[in-house]
């Protein structure tokens, strides 16, 4: 109880000053914040230790933002970097060490070190309501559908539709919920039932 009182007396007001907005009941444990005024966090969000939240328009996007929906849980050591738009829906579950990015280092010029090449803007990262990303998942410029599951260590660079299970690097759909039968059934990698 004493820790909860200390949180609301000291940490919560500090985050209110740093961020674009933060909802009631939200808890952030030792985050790293870059571009805080472009970060908007809903109610009852729980973000575990050492997660990096960044909304930094390194590609020149004037409307850069990171939004996290109500009731979302984000594990330890996650890395969420928006240069244009990352939107995490409501009740999304992210395991430890998840990486979300809507940008990528250019590497086209073989005569220039990658670190000296410009950052390239990709599509927004959208995690729809209720999805679950396992440990070490990377999502780079893609959308994950509603209530979809992405298995541990997957690398997602293409959109995953609603109610799918995807695994691997690159991630491939292996299962999808069949609404008329009310069960999860195997699919091909495009999500077509087999």
Enzyme catalytic residues: 105
| Spatial contact of 39 and 55, defined as CB atoms under 8 Å apart | yes
Quote the CA–CA distance of 109 and 105 in Å, as a whole number: 11
Q: pLDDT > 70: what percent of the chain?
A: 93
SS3 sequence of the chain: CHHHHHHHHHHHHHHHHHCCEECCCCEECCCEEECHHHEEECCCCEECCCCEEEECCCCCCCCCEEEECCCCEECCCCEEEECCEEEECCCCEECCCCEEECEEECCCCCCCCHHHCCEEECCCEEECCCCEECCCCEEECCEECCCCEECCCCEECCCECCCEEEECCCCEEEEEEECCCCEEEEECCCCCEC
| Beta carbons within 10 angstroms of residue 50's beta carbon | 14
pTM of the complete model = 0.92
Please determine, for residue 157, whether its predicted confidence score (pLDDT) is greater than 60.
yes
Between β-strands 164-167 and 149-150, what pairing exists: parallel, antiparallel or unpaired? parallel
Q: Quote the Cα angle for 139-23-67, to 5°.
A: 25
Instruction: Give the chain's end-to-end CA distance (angstroms, integer).
Output: 53
> Each residue of 29-70: pLDDT tens digit?
989 999 999 999 999 999 999 999 999 999 999 999 999 999
Where does residue 149 rank: exposed (0-12), middle (13-18), buried (19+ CB within 10 A)? Answer: buried
| pLDDT, tens digit (0-9, with 9 covering 90-100), for 96-139 | 999 999 999 999 999 999 999 999 999 999 999 999 999 999 99
Alpha-carbon distance 23 to 69, whole Å? 9
Domains delineated in the chain: 2-186 (2.160.10.10)
């Amino acid at each position: 109880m004493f820790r909860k009182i200390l949180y609301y007396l000291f940490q919560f007001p500090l985050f209110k000053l740093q961020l674009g907005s933060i909802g009631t009941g939200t808890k952030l444990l030792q985050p790293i914040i870059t571009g805080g005024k472009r970060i908007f966090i809903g109610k009852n969000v729980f973000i575990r230790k050492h997660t990096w939240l960044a909304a930094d328009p390194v590609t020149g996007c004037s409307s850069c933002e990171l939004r996290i929906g109500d009731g979302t849980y984000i594990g330890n050591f996650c890395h969420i970097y928006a240069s244009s738009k990352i939107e995490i829906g409501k009740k999304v579950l992210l395991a430890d060490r998840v990486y979300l990015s809507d940008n990528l280092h250019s590497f086209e010029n073989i005569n220039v070190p990658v670190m000296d090449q410009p950052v390239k803007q990709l599509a927004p990262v959208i995690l729809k309501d209720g999805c679950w990303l396992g440990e070490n998942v990377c999502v780079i410029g893609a959308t994950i559908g509603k209530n979809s599951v992405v298995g541990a260590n997957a690398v997602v660079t293409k959109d995953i539709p609603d109610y799918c299970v995807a695994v691997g690097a690159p991630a491939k759909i292996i299962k999808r919920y069949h609404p008329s039968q009310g069960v999860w059934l195997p699919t091909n990698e495009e999500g077509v039932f087999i």
